[in-house]
Chains A and B, each alone.
Chain A
Amino acid sequence: MDFALTGEQEALRDTAAKYLADDRATDDGQAWAEVTDLGWLDVELGTVELALLAERMGWARSPSPWWATVGLAGPALRAAGRPVAAPATLAWAWTNGPGTLAEAVAAARAPASAPGVGCAVAADGTLTGRAIRVPHALDVVDLVVVATGPDGIELRLVDASAAVATPAGAGGQALDPSRQVSTVELTGVPSTLLVAADAAADVLALTRRRTLALLAAEAVGVAARALSWASGYAATRTQFGAAIGANQAVAHPLAECYGQVETARSLAYRAAWAVDAEPGRVADRAVLTAGVAAREAAMTACEVAIQTYGGSGFTWEQPLHHWYRRAWWLATFDGTVAGTRAELAGLLLDD
Chain B
Amino acid sequence: MRRMDLRDSAEEAEFRAGLRAWLAGAVPVTADPDGAPPQGRWGDIEAVRSFTRALHAAGYAGLTWPAEHGGRGLSPAHQAIYLEETARAEAAEHIGVIGLGMVGPTIIACGSPEQRAWYLPRILTGDVIFCQGFSEPEAGSDLSAVRTAARRDGDELVVTGRKVWSSYAHLADHCLLLARTDPDQRRHRGLTCLLVDLRSAGVTVRPIRQMTGEAEFAEIEFDEVRVPLDAVVGALDDGWRVAMTTLAHERGTFGFTLTARLDVAFRRLVATAKARGRDTDPVVRDQIAARYVELEGLRWTNRRGLAALARTGVPGPETSVIKLRWSQAHQRLTTLAVQLLGDDAEPDGWDRYWRHQMLRSRANTIEGGTSEVLRNLVAERVLGLPRSY
Contact = CB atoms under 8 A, between A and B. Distances in A.
The 4 closest A-B pairs by CB, nearest first: A263-B297, A259-B321, A245-B385, A4-B307
Nearest to A249: B388
A164 interface: no
Contacts of B186: none
Contacts of B379: 245, 248, 251-252, 254-255
Nearest to A4: B307
A266 B95 CA distance: 33
A289 B286 contact: no
Contacts of B7: 1, 277
B372 A267 contact: no
Interface of A: 1-6, 9, 48, 227, 231, 234-235, 242-243, 245-248, 251-252, 254-256, 258-259, 262-267, 269-270, 273-274, 277, 289, 292-293, 338, 341-342, 344-346, 348-349
Interface string B304-338: 10111011000001100100110000000000000
A289 B292 CA distance: 8
A235 B303 contact: no
B1 interface: yes
B378 interface: yes
Contact of B321 (A5, A258, A341): A258
Contact of B311 (A4, A247, A293, A349): A4
Contacts of B372: 248, 252
Given A4-B2, A266-B297, A270-B300, A254 B383 contact: yes
Contacts of B285: 341-342, 345-346, 349
Contact of B4 (A6, A231, A293): A6
Contacts of A289: 292-293, 296
Contacts of A277: 5-7
B77 interface: yes
> Which has the most chain B C-beta neighbours within 10 Å: A242, A263, A338, A345?
A263
Nearest to B81: A1
B386 A341 contact: no
19 contacts: A3-B300, A6-B2, A235-B383, A245-B388, A246-B385, A246-B388, A248-B376, A251-B375, A254-B385, A258-B378, A259-B324, A266-B303, A269-B304, A270-B300, A289-B292, A341-B285, A341-B286, A344-B289, A345-B285
A251 B380 CA distance: 9
Contacts of A5: 4
